Chains A and B, each alone.
Chain A
Amino acid sequence: MKLNCCLIGKGNVGTCLLELIEEKKPTLKNMGIDLVVIAIFEFDGALINHNGLNISKIIEIGDNFRNLEEWNENLSALDSIPNLNLDICIETTPTNPKTGEPAISHILKAIENHIDVVASNKGPFYLHYRKIDNLARQNNCFVKYEATVASCVPAISIKESLLANEIISIKAILNGTSNYILSRMSSEGVDFSLALKEAQELGYAESDPSLDIEGYDAAGKIVILSNALLDWNMNINDVEINGISKITPQAIELAKSDGFVIKHLAIAKNNKLIVKPRMIDKDSPLNIGGTLNVIEFKTKHAGPIILMGRGAGGYEAASAILNDIISIHKIRSRR
């Protein structure tokens, strides 16, 4: 089955996705999927070829893709989406935590035109989840966004494996940067600013790390999980958020002396969402180090189920996106 798709955002995730599509061509072919990328949009224009872009050439040329003859200066995704005969729109633009733009407009435009959506951009889902979901239902569209939370860790699609069970609450570490900082403070006894500097030098933290360390990133992710898995109707303003910047090495030491570690937890329980530093038992499965993510789902019939893995990275997100595309194809081809 031929699947015409467009990619919006050729940053790290978008580029890794193109590489993964090339790598997985034989696998996709075996599944009966002919994935044709007919457009790649950037903020200042787009590569368009209605018969399919030459992905290997685009990968080879790297950042010079604007020199290709398929490049159309100033062509916007919003204007083009209705006219490209698309099956799937892949949204990988960077997150705007305040407005969700431009991703939210791209997503809504695609759905209005009966195009399925796969996204890695969190903003639209923690700001406007219900709007997206309602519109997708009205237009009989699939919207998948596994990459928005914990990257390729199947935190959202786990629901498909628990159809006869019920997730009651979620407790998680969803931000690798803050977990790295707390882990270093705990293992080395360094203070917050030194651990942050180290994280920035290693590329784990942005030059402006506030979204990570103040808990906003984790808050967005717990909103997404609670809406998707607990069927809540929340947005980021419903989360009680405290960051980790005021945690001291002395507090960590005091916790340690009683067998606890301090972790930045995101919790969805009893219709309440919180992101706060909490003490957990040092032997808890949630006590993970480095930049890892971990999610504990408390289920009605099977107690806790725990997923852990790398929560960020280009190929990790790309593999989640491609997985979403494959799963949409599987459902569509069964119909």
Chain B
Amino acid sequence: MIDLEVRIPDTPGSLIELIKPISNNGGNIFGILHHHDKKLNNMIPVNITFELNEKLKETSLENIKKDLREKNIRIDKIALGIEKRHITIIMTGHVFDTDVVDTITRLAKKGIKVKELQAKFTEISEKSNVKFKLDFPESISKEELIRELNIICKEKDLILIHS
């Protein structure tokens, strides 16, 4: 995630001029925050948060900076947030009876966070199907994450289906 802090004139069309270079370079915009209360000399500070394709991140960011400079938009700050990646997995088996809290805790110890959990049962005593949406940091590769999940699933006799 990238957080860009700029100053743009308080005139119609300025925001579009800010957005264009980001979207033209493949940016996925998550949020825009205007600081009207901090307006100075008709210039408004704006924070824009967006995501870039990981593989093209460096080049795309350079292109965005260049395009903004050409449009005379001054960049006050660029913050590269801690990258989180996402994965959806399904576990089938006695997911709850084999201590789902332990599963979540063990993942959390590796920096893997459960963001969402959804379960489907036929009978409460039967095997359950549980979908986990996980966030994992850049420091862990997808292969390492899957390896960790496989260890847990093997130990608890669960079937793992991942994307």
In the assembled complex, A253 has its CB within 8 A of some CB on chain B: yes
Mask, B108-125, CB within 8 Å of A = 1, is: 000000000010111000
Interface residues in B85-139 by Cβ distance below 8 A to A read 88, 90, 92, 118, 120-122, 127-131, 133
Asked whether B129 lies within 8 Å of A254 as measured between CB atoms, the reply is yes
Nearest 9 CB-CB pairings of A with B: A250-B120, A250-B129, A254-B131, A279-B163, A251-B129, A251-B90, A251-B92, A246-B159, A277-B161
Q: Using Cβ atoms and an 8 Å threshold, which residues of chain A touch B90? A: 251, 254-255, 279
Asked whether B131 lies within 8 Å of A246 as measured between CB atoms, the reply is no
In the assembled complex, B20 has its CB within 8 A of some CB on chain A: no
Closest chain-A Cβ to B56's Cβ sits at a distance in Å of 15
In the assembled complex, A248 has its CB within 8 A of some CB on chain B: yes
- Please report the C-alpha to C-alpha distance between residue A46 and residue B94 in the assembled complex, in whole angstroms: 56
- Residues on B lying within 8 angstroms of A by beta carbon are 88, 90, 92, 118, 120-122, 127-131, 133, 159, 161-163
Known contacts A279-B88, A279-B90; is-contact A250 B122 (Cβ 8 Å): yes
Asked whether B121 lies within 8 Å of A254 as measured between CB atoms, the reply is no
Closest chain-A Cβ to B130's Cβ sits at a distance in Å of 8
Closest chain-B Cβ to A255's Cβ sits at a distance in Å of 6
Beyond A255-B90, A260-B88, list 17 extra A-B contacts (CB 8 Å).
Answer: A246-B92, A247-B92, A247-B161, A248-B92, A248-B122, A248-B127, A250-B121, A250-B129, A251-B120, A254-B118, A255-B88, A258-B133, A262-B161, A277-B159, A278-B163, A279-B162, A281-B163
- Please report the C-alpha to C-alpha distance between residue A250 and residue B163 in the assembled complex, in whole angstroms: 16
- Please report the C-alpha to C-alpha distance between residue A258 and residue B128 in the assembled complex, in whole angstroms: 18
Q: Using Cβ atoms and an 8 Å threshold, which residues of chain A touch B163? A: 260, 278-281
Asked whether A279 lies within 8 Å of B122 as measured between CB atoms, the reply is no
The residue on A at minimum CB distance from B91 is: A251
Closest chain-A Cβ to B132's Cβ sits at a distance in Å of 10
Closest chain-B Cβ to A27's Cβ sits at a distance in Å of 46
Closest chain-A Cβ to B153's Cβ sits at a distance in Å of 11
Q: Using Cβ atoms and an 8 Å threshold, which residues of chain B touch A251? A: 90, 92, 120, 129, 161
Q: Using Cβ atoms and an 8 Å threshold, which residues of chain B touch A253? A: 120, 129
Q: Using Cβ atoms and an 8 Å threshold, which residues of chain A touch B118? A: 254, 257
Q: Using Cβ atoms and an 8 Å threshold, which residues of chain A touch B92? A: 246-248, 250-251
- Please report the C-alpha to C-alpha distance between residue A83 and residue B155 in the assembled complex, in whole angstroms: 58
Mask, A226-242, CB within 8 Å of B = 1, is: 00000000000000001
Asked whether A279 lies within 8 Å of B121 as measured between CB atoms, the reply is no
Closest chain-A Cβ to B90's Cβ sits at a distance in Å of 5
Q: Using Cβ atoms and an 8 Å threshold, which residues of chain A touch B121? A: 250
The residue on A at minimum CB distance from B93 is: A246
- Please report the C-alpha to C-alpha distance between residue A29 and residue B130 in the assembled complex, in whole angstroms: 61
Listed by A's residue number, 10 A-B pairs whose Cβ atoms lie within 8 Å are A247-B159, A254-B90, A254-B129, A258-B131, A260-B88, A277-B161, A278-B161, A278-B162, A279-B90, A279-B163
The residue on A at minimum CB distance from B90 is: A251
- Please report the C-alpha to C-alpha distance between residue A262 and residue B129 in the assembled complex, in whole angstroms: 13
The residue on A at minimum CB distance from B120 is: A250
Closest chain-B Cβ to A131's Cβ sits at a distance in Å of 32
- Please report the C-alpha to C-alpha distance between residue A246 and residue B92 in the assembled complex, in whole angstroms: 8
The residue on B at minimum CB distance from A243 is: B159
Known contacts A247-B92, A250-B129; is-contact A279 B120 (Cβ 8 Å): no
- Please report the C-alpha to C-alpha distance between residue A251 and residue B130 in the assembled complex, in whole angstroms: 8
The residue on A at minimum CB distance from B92 is: A251
